[in-house]
Chains A and B, each alone.
Chain A
């Protein structure tokens, strides 16, 4: 393990975090709030980051293990340092709560420990939504785009951070790909901000909600989330953008380069759209007695489905009060999640497709024991290794869900609360059911549970392996 290089890259990435804090500090100044929490955090981060950046002279060896290790380390440290402004402000409670909130932000989960959000300082709430935006596309992707000289264009890093079972590069150079991804990301965010502004939100709400949507995070300034605005236009805009951000960004790249046909042929995209349409219809039918008329049912069903499936976690209604069928469907959608290569979380539609298809192949192989067949995605055959990784990923996911549910069970909350809290954290959605439902929060959990759930959020966001590498003894050996 080349620790010096790992630390140096981590240092540079932390510098970017420090720079990012200037923005919420500016917002704080505009609203006449104290910039001290941000200023002191920035100074602490600078002090911590400058040591490896200026003092270490690392060798250039950089392999997959270093890549995974760096990503894991950076995400944990980002949470640790990003929590400082909240802690210094004194309004977010103990450090563990601040850490949980920050990790929830960077991993675009949107699970909160705050019981009363409205009335908190604007600068801090801006930082809270801004962490979603930064974490959505990935902090290393950002670093690679901004600081190509670091050489972390080394594919290992980007691969570890971008979600999905099949990693493909858009362009030959990683830093170019990162720039294009961020450009698409930024353009869509700006577009949503403008639309929300036109729909009647003030600039502050438009920007923060657009950032929360873009990262598929789900932090809102309002206690009752997007539902608080009571505006169908805002809900529709956010529904559409939540879905847009949960589509593989490569699709937009293909459309921009004039290959729209190829983009629309994507199996995953079709699966995703069908899943959203069917779930929306089923839930709209299931809640027909609660709301008046088809329009209203579809509006609420579509918003909730889009919010859950994109793993954003906004809510426009308290779906914890909906019938069991709708709740079960939403929990299953929580596990499945968005498309690979998007800012969304969950297991990912492409993995589910691969799992379904390999299961079908197993059944076929009983009829034709000696048949050789391949599992395909978008018509292209998948290597057996990808299938193994996908199956393994799914199993690790299940083990973690049930294993960690046992630990969280120590807090003695109800079965629904415990299980959905774990599922919603590992899938980076945010709300679950009952106590952690759309109207609830995570404040009541013990310190242990909060740490476990934070850990699950990072695991989910980085798709297990970079964090699991940190637990492997051989990864810590010096080379």
Chain B
């Protein structure tokens, strides 16, 4: 496909890297030479300099033949204008990044009026992710499929858990009957798909998929659902904090926000009557103690600096706050955070790039079985994908026990209409199903890619 990316910042660069790696022809527009120079050295892409919203530049970049335009410059207005212009030039799919809180309520109107296919708000997406984590404090990460009908949750096995040291097949019928499935186990550097004989060990990170209620019940049985989060302590009052406060106030949690900027404090205080806004430096331990940080149920570090976020998260973790979430855009910090005990790390950059890539991949497969969601799990060593089975999908109606899947591939959940099915041997795939697949290696772009060879077991 021909893809134009306007703005070569963090998100633009990441998306360009992936898309060009997947074999698309990518043209990058930006107004600064240095960035373009660096990218054209690193990637096999075309770079053009100029104002991204200018019609001439878009024409020069080949907007007439372009399939997808992604606008991710620093300015919301330029992104929107760029998409609008591209839409008028006949680009069928346009994606704009809009992060301004002022536009938060206008997204649908903007989309319709300006002809933008998709609006992406990284800060909003991150806030949604964090609020989901707070609703489900025992989970380190949560991804959702089929419009929230299915959740994929990861958590660490602790020594005290009854799961430790037992094979999955030997678990009590109470757990067996829950609408959940163990999808993947991360042990050390290894990731594998568990089966009945898998024995879970302490320090394993386990991925479980199922209905939100099923997962909830599972955590209850596990004894992890002991407390609901009520008091949230947030450091940094930026955009993510803004969107997060909107959601947390709605959930009835009481929030404390520490923010450095004087005017920003006032803005937040005006916007959020039920939250306590504190003017001060969130990295100052004295302030944190004065405001009784250790007594809060959750601690979220959202300052501009990844390093600060990680350090104060560690501090909060040591102080005994049970749920700690850090924002970090640098991927290599994530594993450091994990090893130090901070399990939940949120990256707006990756979330956004992920959203854009998902859409582009979906477009690519729109002829076959469309991929509508993709999450990288286990630090990128496995993927969880959601497909819609099409009439062209092979082996529809064949019981799963007769199918031969590639090694390291698992059909985790099937959503048929409003029904969520945890597959058994007799389950079949039907056209129109939403199928959630967990695969150890990437490279599955179509539902048909999951079958090994002819896809049928010998004699099946």
- Chain A interface (Cβ < 8 Å from any Cβ of B): 368-374, 376, 379, 381
The 9 closest A-B pairs by CB, nearest first: A372-B265, A381-B270, A372-B277, A374-B269, A370-B280, A372-B269, A372-B279, A370-B278, A371-B278
Contacts of A379 in B (CB 8 A): 273
Mark B284-318 against chain A: 1 for CB-CB distance below 8 A, else 0: 00010011000000000000000000000000000
Nearest Cβ on chain B to A267's Cβ, whole angstroms: 12
Contacts of A381 in B (CB 8 A): 269-270
On whether the beta carbons of B270 and A368 are closer than 8 Å, the reply is no
Contacts of A371 in B (CB 8 A): 276-279
- Chain B interface (Cβ < 8 Å from any Cβ of A): 262, 265-266, 268-270, 273, 276-280, 287, 290-291
Alpha-carbon distance A369/B276, docked complex (angstroms):
11
Contacts of B291 in A (CB 8 A): 368, 370
On whether the beta carbons of B278 and A374 are closer than 8 Å, the reply is no
Contacts of B265 in A (CB 8 A): 372
| CB nearest to A376 among chain B residues | B273
On whether the beta carbons of A373 and B280 are closer than 8 Å, the reply is no
Nearest Cβ on chain A to B238's Cβ, whole angstroms: 16
Within 8 Å by CB of B270, from A369, A370, A374, lies A374
- A-B contacts, 8 listed (Cβ < 8 Å): A371-B277, A371-B278, A372-B262, A373-B276, A374-B269, A374-B270, A376-B273, A379-B273
Alpha-carbon distance A381/B273, docked complex (angstroms):
9
Nearest Cβ on chain A to B223's Cβ, whole angstroms: 35
Q: A371-B277, A372-B268 are in contact. List 15 more A-B contacts (CB 8 A).
A: A368-B276, A369-B290, A370-B279, A370-B290, A370-B291, A371-B278, A372-B266, A372-B278, A372-B279, A373-B276, A373-B277, A374-B266, A376-B273, A381-B269, A381-B270
Alpha-carbon distance A374/B265, docked complex (angstroms):
10
| CB nearest to B237 among chain A residues | A372
| CB nearest to A369 among chain B residues | B290
Contacts of B290 in A (CB 8 A): 369-370
Alpha-carbon distance A379/B270, docked complex (angstroms):
9
| CB nearest to B287 among chain A residues | A370
Nearest Cβ on chain A to B233's Cβ, whole angstroms: 13
Nearest Cβ on chain A to B269's Cβ, whole angstroms: 5
Contacts of A369 in B (CB 8 A): 290
Contacts of A370 in B (CB 8 A): 278-280, 287, 290-291
Alpha-carbon distance A395/B193, docked complex (angstroms):
74
| CB nearest to A380 among chain B residues | B270
Nearest Cβ on chain A to B343's Cβ, whole angstroms: 30
Alpha-carbon distance A373/B262, docked complex (angstroms):
11
Nearest Cβ on chain A to B414's Cβ, whole angstroms: 46
Alpha-carbon distance A368/B279, docked complex (angstroms):
10
Alpha-carbon distance A368/B292, docked complex (angstroms):
10
Nearest Cβ on chain B to A375's Cβ, whole angstroms: 10
Alpha-carbon distance A376/B291, docked complex (angstroms):
24
Alpha-carbon distance A287/B273, docked complex (angstroms):
42
On whether the beta carbons of A373 and B269 are closer than 8 Å, the reply is yes
Most buried by B among A368, A369, A374: A374
Contacts of B277 in A (CB 8 A): 371-373
| CB nearest to B281 among chain A residues | A370
| CB nearest to B273 among chain A residues | A376
